[in-house]
């Protein structure tokens, strides 16, 4: 069937120079990352006891990630050859789409690994600074650690995208599909595996240590403490850094795919220029984050975020009016866009103004999500205070109040996200290609804040681990211990906030990728059959079934992730109990726990458990697309985006509220540590741990992986479903094989025992 052939879009002359400049800015960001890293490593390391504990955490984290990467190398190899088998415009696209799949996966792994590697070296330096130098130097080390990871994320994301545009010109969007898929797939695996590791260790440590033995959180007598500290790094540092990198990469991919159709050659350059501004303003944000004496750490961090976001907004608007024309008549390469076949009107309006407003919408969205998430998870606001208050009546009311906070916050977050997406979409004034590109540009606007967001997120586990190192060593007390407690509370809130913004980037990226999927379908259908896509009404049974299946995958994915944490945590609980029972002198401090055994348990279980969610994410779109057709697959993506957004916010904010309610009680409210209220909040926090740090964050890459898989198979699905190349038998076989693979891994997962026996 003859498809719509997109216009050839070339990047040359001044545009090529600008893309090269973006590449140089990316390299500059990497240089800044190296500079910040050296600044962190130059700080003092503390006492010999602190060094010994930190070394154990470093070794555990390194060992886990090396084993994880060996496991994921198998998936990467399979995906590489699978991409080679998918149809493409020509051999160059087919080969380099697979090559850049590996590049995207490698960059995602590098961000995660190097971020974790620095974090496990920064924790004792923060603890040492708090003990000997004071609050401001300790906080500065933690923030510089985050800045390193932020610059690494921005630098590698911009470098990969700009290289593809320079090397492949009009073929860049297709090659970038592989780049984004590699980043998203690896980030999802790291998010799930790291999340299972960290929360299994955390839950096991809390249930036995705090509730049963009534000892502090990071007490060295608890055999799970080292595993818990390792988990903070492989989950919150490595996993979250990879997650935000893939959000960065995938949003750029969607923007470049849609931009080439909406704005021609400038559409391949402009989406790179906006995040490049963000890279520069992120550096400014790092230097704005100068702690003032007596100032709450969260105020310092928020000030830097808002200042850098404001500068980025002003600079982006100025760039838009300098670089973009004021009329669509001045663009080239727009006439044969596949989306024009079903647009309700021709492009109209001022492109510079449209782009400016879209980018500002994304920046404002980041600020709104920061404020909204901070309200529902911050210790100074009513929702968390109310959850803490319910601890006086037991764990059941703590659970109920936390669930209520999560459910309510999801509604308001969805309204804010929906307003941003719809507001950006309306900017297209009826032209579908412009509308979808505007949504992608809102995502690019949000990307200008990613450097600051990654820095805020990494600060959380670094400050948490610093307190752990201090408590386990016993070498920090008095004012130093109080400083670390304050920084830990600040980090707890920043982690919750960054999860909210990560969800926002996922929604914008997934919505833009959804538009890219529609484009691919239209190109394959051709102008005569383009109306087929418009027949995908919601009351069409295939679309409705697709919506239900997309929603169901989100529920199943979340259930599998939470259940995996429960199983692994059960094994940790039994092992820690055994050690307290069988190793003489642990409680007296004369016996040494076997920390390595707990690390081995959670490493083994987390790597085993990540296979099922990964297979589900990749094969579910294949099963639906080839089995039910491209309209059902469109419904599937819509269901996954909608349900995934609400579920991710619910899980993240409920978990964050429970966690900070526990912090309130531990700070002395409602009876303080050791009270019944404390035990109730520990149980609430235990339930919330896999919510906020395993299932919730993993939904972000899940919906993007499914969108990218759908985008990659769109051409094959359409060609086998309609027209001269229709082959119902083959597509049904492909669908049944995908269903069989999903069923096999789910059954294998469910056969594992839920309860761990002694």
Number of Cβ within 10 Å of residue 134's Cβ equals 15
pLDDT at site 1: 33
Residue 544 backbone class (left: φ over 0; alpha: ψ -120 to 50; beta: rest) = alpha
Phi/psi for 538 (5° steps) reads: -65, -25
User: Please, are residues 734 and 622 in contact by the beta-carbon 8 Å criterion?
Assistant: yes
CB half-sphere exposure, 362, CA atoms < 13 A: 38
Q: What is the rounded CA–CA span in Å between residue 256 and residue 189?
A: 25
Q: What is the rounded CA–CA span in Å between residue 2 and residue 87?
A: 15
Radius of gyration (C-alpha) of the chain in whole angstroms: 25
Tokens of 215: 């000892």
The model's pTM is 0.84
pLDDT at site 9: 57
Q: What is the rounded CA–CA span in Å between residue 397 and residue 374?
A: 22
Q: What is the rounded CA–CA span in Å between residue 158 and residue 275?
A: 8
Per-residue burial over 176-212, b if 16 or more Cβ lie within 10 Å, else e, is bbbbbbbbbbbbbbbbbbbbbbbbbbbbbbbbbbbee
Q: What is the rounded CA–CA span in Å between residue 138 and residue 483?
A: 8
Q: What is the rounded CA–CA span in Å between residue 456 and residue 259?
A: 30
DSSP string, 190-247: HHHHHHHHHHHHHHHHIIIIIIIS---TT-TTSTTHHHHHHHIIIIIIIIHHHHHHHH
pLDDT at site 288: 73
User: Please, are residues 90 and 207 in contact by the beta-carbon 8 Å criterion?
Assistant: no
Which residues does 740 contact at the CB level (< 8 Å), separation at least 6?
A: none
C-alpha pair distances (Å), 266 with each of 19, 335, 681: 11, 15, 54
SS3 labels along 522-554: HHHHCHHHCHHHHCCCCCCHHHHHHHHHHHHHH
C-alpha pair distances (Å), 705 with each of 188, 544, 551, 629: 8, 21, 15, 19
- 10-residue stretch averages of pLDDT, the chain, 758 residues long: 44 80 92 91 85 80 80 84 78 86 89 84 87 84 87 88 84 82 83 81 78 74 78 74 78 80 80 89 79 73 85 93 82 52 60 92 89 84 90 92 93 92 86 84 87 81 82 77 81 76 80 74 62 58 88 91 84 84 80 80 79 85 90 89 92 89 84 84 87 84 85 83 77 92 86 54
pLDDT at site 2: 36
User: Please, are residues 261 and 338 in contact by the beta-carbon 8 Å criterion?
Assistant: yes
């Amino acid at each position: 069937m003859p498809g719509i052939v997109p216009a050839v879009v070339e990047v040359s002359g001044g545009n090529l120079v600008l893309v090269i400049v973006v590449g140089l800015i990316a390299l500059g960001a990497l240089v800044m990352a190296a500079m910040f890293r050296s600044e962190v490593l130059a700080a003092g390391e503390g006492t010999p006891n602190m060094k010994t504990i930190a070394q154990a955490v470093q070794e555990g984290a390194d060992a886990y990630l090396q084993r994880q990467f060996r496991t994921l190398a198998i998936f990467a190899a399979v995906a590489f050859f699978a991409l080679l088998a998918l149809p493409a415009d020509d051999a160059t696209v087919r080969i380099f789409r697979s090559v850049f799949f590996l590049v995207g996966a490698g960059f995602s792994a590098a961000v995660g690994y190097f971020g974790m590697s620095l974090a496990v070296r920064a924790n004792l330096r923060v603890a040492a600074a708090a003990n000997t130098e004071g609050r401001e130097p300790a906080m500065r080390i933690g923030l510089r650690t985050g800045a390193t990871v932020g610059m690494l994320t921005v630098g590698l994301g911009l470098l990969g995208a700009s290289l593809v545009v320079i090397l492949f010109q009009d073929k860049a969007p297709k090659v970038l599909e592989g780049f984004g898929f590699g980043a998203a797939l690896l980030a999802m695996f790291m998010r799930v595996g790291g999340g299972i590791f960290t929360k299994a260790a955390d839950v096991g440590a809390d249930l036995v240590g705090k509730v049963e033995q009534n000892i502090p959180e990071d007490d060295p007598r608890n055999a799970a403490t080292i595993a818990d500290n390792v988990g903070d790094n492989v989950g919150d540092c490595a996993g979250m850094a990879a997650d935000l990198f893939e959000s960065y990469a995938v949003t750029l991919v969607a923007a470049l795919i849609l931009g080439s159709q909406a704005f021609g050659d400038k559409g391949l350059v402009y989406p790179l220029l906006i995040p490049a501004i963000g890279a520069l303003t992120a550096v400014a944000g790092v230097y704005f984050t100068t702690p003032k004496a007596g100032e709450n750490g969260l105020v310092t961090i928020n000030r830097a975020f808002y200042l850098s976001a404001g500068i980025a907004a002003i600079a982006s608007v100025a760039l838009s009016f300098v670089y973009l024309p004021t009329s669509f008549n001045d663009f080239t390469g727009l006439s044969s866009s596949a989306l024009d076949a079903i647009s309700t009107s021709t492009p109209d309006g001022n492109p510079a103004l449209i782009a400016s407003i879209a980018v500002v919408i994304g920046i404002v969205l980041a600020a709104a999500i920061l404020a909204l998430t901070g309200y529902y998870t911050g210790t100074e606001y009513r929702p968390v205070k109310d959850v803490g208050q319910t601890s006086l009546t037991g764990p059941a009311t703590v659970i109920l109040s936390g669930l209520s906070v999560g459910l309510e916050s999801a509604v308001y977050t969805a309204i804010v996200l929906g307003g941003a997406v719809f507001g950006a979409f309306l900017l297209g004034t009826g032209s579908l290609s412009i509308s979808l590109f505007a949504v992608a540009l809102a995502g690019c606007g949000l990307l200008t804040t990613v450097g600051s967001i990654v820095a805020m997120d990494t600060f959380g586990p670094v400050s948490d681990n610093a307190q752990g190192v201090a408590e386990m060593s016993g070498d920090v007390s008095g004012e130093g211990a109080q400083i670390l407690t304050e920084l830990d509370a600040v980090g707890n809130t920043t982690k919750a906030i960054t999860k909210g913004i990560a969800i926002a980037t996922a929604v914008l990226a997934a919505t833009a990728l959804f538009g890219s999927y529609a484009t691919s379908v239209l190109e394959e259908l051709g102008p005569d059959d383009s109306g087929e896509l418009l027949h995908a009404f919601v009351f069409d049974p295939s679309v409705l079934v697709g919506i239900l299946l997309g929603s169901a995958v989100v529920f199943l994915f979340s259930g599998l992730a939470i259940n995996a944490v429960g199983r692994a945590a059960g094994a940790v609980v039994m092992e820690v109990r055994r050690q307290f029972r069988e190793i003489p002198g642990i409680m007296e401090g004369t016996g040494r726990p076997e920390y390595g055994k707990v690390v081995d348990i959670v490493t083994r279980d987390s790597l085993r458990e990540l296979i099922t969610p990964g297979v589900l994410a990749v094969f579910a779109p294949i099963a639906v697309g080839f089995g039910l057709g491209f309209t059902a697959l469109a419904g599937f993506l819509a269901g996954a985006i909608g349900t995934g957004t609400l579920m991710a916010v619910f899980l993240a904010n409920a978990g964050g509220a429970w966690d900070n309610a526990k912090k309130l009680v531990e700070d002395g409210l409602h009876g303080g540590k050791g009270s019944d209220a404390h035990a109730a909040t520990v149980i609430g926090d235990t339930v919330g741990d896999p919510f906020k740090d395993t299932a919730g964050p993993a939904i972000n890459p899940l919906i993007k992986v499914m969108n990218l898989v759908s985008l990659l198979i769109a051409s094959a699905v359409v060609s086998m479903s309609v027209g001269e190349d229709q082959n119902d038998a083959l597509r049904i076989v492909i669908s049944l094989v995908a269903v069989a693979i999903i069923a096999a891994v789910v059954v294998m997962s469910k056969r594992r025992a839920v309860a761990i026996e002694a």
